[in-house]
Structure 1
Amino acid sequence: MSANITVKNLSAGYSKTPVLHDVSLLIQQGEMVGLLGPNGSGKTTLLMSLSGVKKPLQGSVTLNQTNLLQIPPKLRAAQIASVPQYTGETPDIEVLSLVLMGRYPYISALGGYSAEDKKIALACMKETATDNFAYRSARDLSGGEFQRVLIARALTQQAQTILLDEATSGLDVARTIEIFDLLKQRHHTGTTVVAAIHDINLAALYCTRLVFLKHGRIVLDGTVEDVFTDDNLTTIYDTPIHTFKHPVTNAPQAFFTPGSTATHR
């Protein structure tokens, strides 16, 4: 069954103070959506709302016409996996055990992880190049390595939708491309990918649709070709931006002018 997520007139925030204002959005099964916008525009809050972690102040988020908050957490986890921004202390836990937590939706109340669960977890670790430290403590990993472990855990859930919040922010260029190549492969097999991405050029290279937020509202939503333009980007980011075609893929890419922000204001 396809998994469509509908956001309707959503306001969400913290301590009853909204960060998102009247956001409406339809994400259809199989899309690869990039969430873009300046810092503080509401990307993380929107992802937390899409995962069911954050309860709306107003409006609703539904999965296949069922309110997300009415779906039991275990069932919801079988349909939507999340890779959050990780800023806390890395836990002192074996890496494989951490990745196996992604199999939580599939174990019984009395049962433990099966051999099949371990096989799936190790396969996802191999895809993310984390299998070589499966039996080390997560605390011994670098920030980038630990971020790849979190991605492996999300893949282990085998959910139809994956939400990622700046999931490659701690990775070098090669590892970032590897992860996005992997996400693109999953997208081609029907997985829905929704990713908050700070690097707008990376988003333009991989996503099929871009949603721009500013001041907690959606200001642009469309294909890369339609919305990734000089005027749009300059307006959203408050600095002159010029776009040119990528020499290999032909996707539009953004270029900035040093020292231009002050003169643009």
Structure 2
Amino acid sequence: MTPGELALAAGNYTPVTHFILLGFSNDPDLQKLLFGGFLLIYAMTVVGNLGMMALILTDSHLHSPMYFFLSVLSFLDVCYSSVVTPKLLVDLLASDRSISFKGCVVQMTFFVMHATAESFLLASMAYDRCTAICRPLHYGYVMTRGTCLQLVAASYAFGGANSALESGNVFARPFCGPNQVPHYFCDVIPLLRLACANTAVAGVILYVFSALVLLLPVSLILTSYSLVLLAIGRMRSAAGKEKALSMWAIAIFYNTVIFTHIQPQDPPMIPAAR
């Protein structure tokens, strides 16, 4: 049994009202270095994506489905990083790394929602490029403005549904023992380990739905890639090949997501500050 389960069984516990995010390190010099690095990356991310959105919005030549999806992707990137990074930057300089229970719920909910929405949006972008390359004569008829809006709405719908399920799966369980999270934000797996109740069923639910959320868009992307590769073999124009190569940015992102979040090993535990 975990320490939380022992406390719950003994009836000698106090419900957790806040969590402590242990972060990366307790070394002050390293924390300052990390603060500078993450601040620079975050600033570049926000400025770059907002600049991309402004450029696409103001330039009428970029009002096409591909650039519409890129603008939505930029918006998701800003939201995705803003859910976690500001709190991380504060924690790197502050001695108090606590976050309220409700704050942790909100952070996890929005993090999972935007991460899932981005996953499905990338699948929509792959479908868009596949249609443009494999069915160029029907592209304008298939990828209408209404279709693009529906694909974005569907991405957010999947994100909201998965976020509600995974957050509910975690916070429906009691938290009465240790409140130190060995992570720099309220992620699903580290918090699930702190729950007082048996989390075997919750773990199965988590992995099943996480696999579905990744496998469905990945399957769509791989199918699109296969069709595009076949079309590339029949292409003779350099312009057509350059348009096809734009899809590889999606592959790079998905490789990062898969190797970051779908790992069987437990993340290393970071000792608490003394």
Structure 2 length-normalised TM: 0.27
Rg larger in structure:
2
Higher relative contact order (CA 8 A, sep 6+): 2
More strand by share: 1
- The structure with more helix, counted as a fraction of residues: 2
